[in-house]
A and B are shown apart, each in its own frame.
Chain A
Amino acid sequence: MSKKTIESELGSILKQVTARLSKANTLEEVYAVRNEFSGKGSVLQQLLQSLKELSPEDRPLVGAKVNEAKKSIESDIERALLFLANKESIEKDEQRDIDVTAPFHVSNPHVAPFDSIGTPHPLQYEINRMLDIFTSMGFIPFEGRELDTDYYVFDSLNMPKEHPARQNWDTFRTEDNLIPTPHTSNMQVRIMRHLKTAPLRAVIYGRVARNEAADAVHGHTFYQIEGLYIDKGVSVSNMIATINAFVEAFFGRKVVGKIQPGYFPFVEPGIEYMGQCPFCDGVGCVSCKHTGWLELVGAGMIHPNVLREGGFDPKEYSGFAWGLGLDRMVMQRNGIQDIRSLFASDIRFLQSTI
């Protein structure tokens, strides 16, 4: 065969394959095309054999063309097979082999119940417990938004543009410039404007996100809960007493508290409340990393700029807010070492209490 004949032969083979595949309706038909055109003893194979007859200078070029055609045919066949497999599965999927309005399948009236009991997620359990405490203290619950604007996440909380503390939160940002909120305080000003009157007592809880690499103790997603209290003449002393009452209700026992200054732009002054570790009475254990103290709560007197933003005149009103991360509580309570277990949804973990 000459170079020309081989090339025209190739062209016609490709055309035939395309035509045959487009008509193929079953996998068998495609297999037939494959046997005829690409397998052992196929037309293509014969064509490759005939390359020997060509002059040495033509051989590589034509050889490359034949190989190219072979590849193209194989990928066409592959695609056709996938298409038909899909089509078959779709056809199978489309069969209405059950009566979706019925309570059970024909000839099988037995629907077995799930005999092991269901369990709440450990985070849910903690949220519920906390909400019980807060509501018993007279705080109205509000679940926080997940996606929010710069205004609620930062500006309304005394962090105008360019405020350095904005960076401390490592926020995610969406294409339409919303922020998966990095804290539950995004609800503070909203709630102040919504409830309007003092004494204002609210508890905010919800899911928050930070753009950091996940490891055993840091997740990009976690839960926070915070209390908000505003009235005339609210003092630092009131704040400390309230946090203490909350912490003691949470642990169901007396807790020795210790306060250190902390810095959060939306409070002034800001504090961190440490509790003597209730799991070891301050002796030192895994829960408190052998320090005897647990960092329990971040808190502070609401910054006058935040009060003003929420419609409360700071000359007349003062208030405090305090918050904590739930995931850490869950981990401490259950001795969980890796925060990622909380979102891994491994049923052996979720059902481990029963």
Chain B
Amino acid sequence: MKYSLNQIKKYVPEVSSIPVPELISRIWTSVAEVESVEDLSKKFEGIVVGKILSVEDHPKSEKLIIANVDIGKTEPVTVVTAAHNISKGDFVPYIPVGGIVPSIKSESGEPIEIGIRTMAGIPSVGMLASEKELGLSDNHEGIMILLPEELKHELVAGESLSVALELDDVIFEIENKSLTHRGDCFSIVGISREIAALYGFELIIPEWQKASLSIPNLLGPEFDKVMPCALKIVISATQAVERYSAIVLDGVQVRKSPQWLQHYLSKLGVSSVNNVVDITNYVMLEYGQPMHAFDASTLVHKKREDRIEYTIDVRYAKAGEKIVTLDNKEKVLPAIAPLITDSEKPLGIAGIIGGKDSGITENSTRIILEAAVFNKYAIRNTSMSLGITTDASVVFSRKQDPEKTARALLRAVHLLQELCGAEVVSSIADEYLPQKLGSSLVVSHEKMEQFIGIALSPVRVVAILKALGCEVVKKNGMYRIDTPSWRPDIAIDEDVYEEIARIVGYKEIVPELPKRGIFGIPLSRYEQIKQASFETLSSIGIVQAMNFSFVSKALYDRCQMPITDARSIVNAISPDVQYMRKQIAPGLIEQLAKNQYNTNRFALFELGKISRKGLNYSGEDLSTYHMPEARFGIDELGLPIEDEHIAVGIVDDSVQPGFFTLKHLIEQYMQQLHVEIRTAHISDLPKKISNNIPSWAKELLVALRSGRSALLLEKGTNVFIGVIGEPATMVRKSFGLTKQVAIAEFSLNRIAQYASLEPQYREPSKFPLVTEDYCFEFPIEVQYENVMLAYQKVNVELQGETAVKQVPIDIYQKREGFKQVTHRLIFTPKNGSLADTQLRLYRAKYIAEMAKLGGKII
């Protein structure tokens, strides 16, 4: 909504004493953000009113004429122009030498500065401007002729044009969104009331506009006259209408509006249509009351004796009903749409837009003028469902004051009488549905001070509330407040506190920190593990990526994975955000593919939430869930389990299979969290384990090359933690992967079950340690894990006297069917230095154990 400061000054004259920047900043900090401020007079600097003294033909050109123009100086100036519409005595806008054309730019986008230009031999001094050049309208046909009677201003040659046209104005704009709860501020009167309250200035409201005046008073002596027309209002859509007032006028002459009205509307960004429409817009901007005029000749009517009877029925649209709107578009109306009808056909969509057929044309003489207040929900829903937003629908989407319809109607009638020769031919028809107007509150002064946090003078509080339109009585430290009909947003004590706080000004509130004790806030264990995960993963060279929680079916298709059981989004704006993800890996594979040529070898991880249709907390043992959301217990039953997963992926160009490179990273990560894991191929595991892995893992295994995939299990318990592997050939093809790629995904909840962040420091042994390399040859099919188990079996036997740590050194295949596995064993004696005999004994034990696997020492 745009506001004219000149117009505000008519209601709050004292505002002239406030510098504009200070006023704007005050509105900003106490009402709503001011989006833009424009000082129009700057645009028209130097431009004056000129009076044409004579017009002569140009001696050398038929296209050009020569005008002598009085610009208030001792000597008139000579202007050569191609526009022929001026004649002696005309007042015109004159841009002097050195002046800037307000709205036209040169081809290079620079402002155009006026100079002396010789046209066909005669120097032209300055320029006479068209409306378009002044930025007042799109009219570029000839020079703008200023009409004193239409401007309501006595014109004098040489006076400033901006004064003559009331363009010495400041226009500021507040975003509609910022006024969601302030329907009353969609008007000059509304913002004027706010400004008056902010500064304690007087708000001057014309007598006839005051609430105390009833309709008979408003209509004056004409009220009792027998009118030639009668208007009956029927409200069938009772939920959509709060009040409907209308009146019939005759003898209306539809034509262009006078210049003052055109210019006023153009300042506020409304284009001029004709005098009738312009008047309804003028009243809407002024009082926040959208109005509409119908051509009465298009309505069905009855003749009874000498009177013509019109009926307006506000009802909901019937099935399949259509209307052609003012902007010439045919709309099929939804059943929720309230319509203005003449009891047969629709005339317009209530509160949104009029119909084309019932609209005002040049030939209209009898009109029905409507001022109504519609229910905000009804208008918002209809406007959204039809996809039509108009100035009226914006205003009506906020709660409006039904008290103002009749008074706005009268204001419009006055203007229509003055500018269009209209005469009143009916009484005001008025359907006012019963409703609550305003609230009564009792608010404590002490609580108000405590809530805001500063001392307040009761006199100030009363003055502010009265300035906002409240009736206030103060008694025994309490205020009894009756709120005005235009402030439905003041309904509870806190609303009153807000009014006081913002009008006093937030900057007057001295900030004071809450008094609080000393306390420490440790992160929960799960959150610590999560933080440790972030830190560890990046410390081993893995870069954190983030994907959306939304995925597409196409992504799952590319991974050969089913989209089944992913929650679909029913109102997604694009197929890319059609589903909620149920694994992290697919998105990460895509990112690995996108980045594969951006750098040589790299690793990415993502930590995020996943969910799955049908997986919720109902019937689950909450103690097995460590993520914070499980803290909320019973409230969360029925809500989807949002498990957090970590996916890690690598792109690698080394000869080592990606599986091992990735496995190594994951082992490092797990080690940091003190989680011991084993990797095992799914078919090597007992059915009890392999059949019970979660669905997300089963689905992910499909995307992996089955010979190079494994489950990650907690070593001690064989509890499933996650999946690791290399993408299947088809998946590699669909993503265009060309390098070594591996991917793993695991549940952070499961990690949290076993992780420990407490480091355990042990003193080293005081006795020298001994290192020996062991190499055994095994049949090729013996899995490495079994070799490890065999070592560990012996290590356990030895642990009373010697701690053994073993490090894999290499695995070589020297001959067909066999592999040699080398480990370095580090023996740390606990009770005394190791003797050769002991080492020989150890060696024998290892050899015996390996022999069970078919292993021979080399």
Contact = CB atoms under 8 A, between A and B. Distances in A.
Contacts of A110: 654, 656
A164 B380 contact: yes
B594 A345 contact: yes
Given A269-B494, A318-B451, A190 B635 contact: yes
A108 B655 contact: yes
A89 B681 contact: no
A143 interface: yes
Nearest to A145: B629
Interface stretch (B315-323, B364-372, B539-547, B790-798): B539-547
A99 interface: yes
A162 interface: yes
B397 interface: yes
A337 interface: no
A227 B380 CA distance: 33
A180 interface: yes
Interface stretch (A3-11, A29-37, A116-124, A277-285): A116-124
Interface string A133-148: 0010011111101111
A111 B571 contact: no
A207 B678 contact: no
Contacts of A178: 567, 639-640
Interface stretch (A12-20, A46-54, A240-248): A240-248
Contact of A174 (B568, B705, B706): B568
B712 to A, nearest CB: 10
A146 B629 CA distance: 10
B811 A107 contact: yes
Nearest to A318: B451
Contact of B598 (A89, A123, A231, A348): A348
Contact of A118 (B569, B603, B656, B663): B603
Interface string B760-777: 000000000000000000
Contacts of B667: 103
Interface stretch (B159-167, B255-263, B296-304, B502-510): B502-510
Interface string A63-105: 0000000000000000000000010011011111111111111
Given A178-B567, A236-B453, A109 B550 contact: no
A120 B536 CA distance: 11
A321 to B, nearest CB: 14
A197 interface: no
Nearest to B683: A96
Contacts of B611: 146-147
Contacts of B632: 190, 193-194
Interface in B466-505: 492, 494-495, 497-498, 501-502
Nearest to B498: A269
Interface residues of B, number: 126
Contact of A268 (B454, B495, B577, B709): B495
A27 B741 CA distance: 27
A213 B574 CA distance: 9
B783 interface: yes
Interface-centre pick from B384, B577, B809 (highest chain A CB count, 10 A): B577
Nearest to A301: B494
Given A96-B707, A135-B523, A111 B664 contact: yes
A211 B492 contact: no
Contact of A234 (B33, B177, B514, B663): B514
A137 to B, nearest CB: 9
Given A106-B811, A172-B571, A350-B545, A263 B178 contact: yes
Interface stretch (B24-32, B149-157, B749-757, B829-837): B24-32
A71 B570 CA distance: 39
Interface string B666-680: 010000000000111
Contacts of A207: 549, 609
A236 B513 CA distance: 10
Nearest to B629: A145
A138 B656 contact: no
Nearest to A268: B494
B591 interface: yes
Interface in A310-354: 318, 342-343, 345-348, 350-351
Nearest to A147: B640
A217 to B, nearest CB: 16
Contacts of B633: 194
Contact of A240 (B509, B613, B680, B710): B509
A38 interface: no
Contact of A235 (B178, B451, B540, B642): B451
Interface string B30-60: 1111000000000000000000000000000
B494 A220 contact: no
A45 interface: no
Interface-centre pick from A104, A162, A194 (highest chain B CB count, 10 A): A104
Contacts of B663: 100, 103
A37 B636 CA distance: 64
Contacts of B501: 236, 269
Nearest to B635: A190
B812 A261 contact: no
A259 interface: yes
Contact of B397 (A118, A164, A209, A231): A164
A82 to B, nearest CB: 10
A121 B546 contact: yes
Interface string B419-455: 0000000000000000000000000000000111110
A55 interface: no
Interface-centre pick from A110, A142, A146 (highest chain B CB count, 10 A): A146
Interface in B808-824: 808-813, 819
B621 interface: no
B854 to A, nearest CB: 15
B95 interface: no
B538 A135 contact: no
B539 A93 contact: no
Contacts of B534: 120, 124, 128
A140 B522 CA distance: 8
B512 interface: yes
A236 B811 contact: no
Contacts of B657: 98, 105
Given A121-B544, A148-B639, A346 B595 contact: yes
Nearest to B511: A241
B540 A118 contact: yes
Nearest to B546: A121
B595 A345 contact: yes
Contacts of B679: 100-101
A178 B454 CA distance: 43
A28 B786 CA distance: 42
Nearest to A207: B549
Contacts of A209: 549-550
Given A100-B709, A164-B377, A237 B549 contact: no
B514 A238 contact: yes
B571 A268 contact: no
A214 B751 CA distance: 35
Given A119-B543, A318-B451, 12 more contacts: A97-B707, A98-B708, A102-B784, A106-B812, A111-B660, A112-B601, A147-B611, A199-B516, A220-B577, A259-B506, A263-B181, A350-B543
Interface of A: 86, 89-90, 92-121, 123-124, 128, 135, 138-143, 145-149, 162, 164-165, 167-168, 172-176, 178, 180, 190, 193-194, 199, 207, 209, 211-213, 220-221, 229, 231, 233-238, 240-242, 244-245, 258-263, 268-269, 271-272, 301, 303-304, 318, 342-343, 345-348, 350-351
| 10 closest A-B pairs by CB | A237-B453, A114-B541, A235-B453, A269-B498, A118-B538, A101-B785, A241-B511, A89-B729, A102-B784, A259-B506
25 contacts: A92-B729, A97-B708, A101-B678, A102-B808, A112-B661, A117-B541, A120-B538, A123-B546, A128-B534, A139-B521, A141-B527, A143-B628, A164-B180, A175-B570, A229-B514, A237-B452, A237-B510, A241-B512, A268-B497, A269-B502, A304-B494, A345-B545, A345-B591, A346-B598, A351-B599
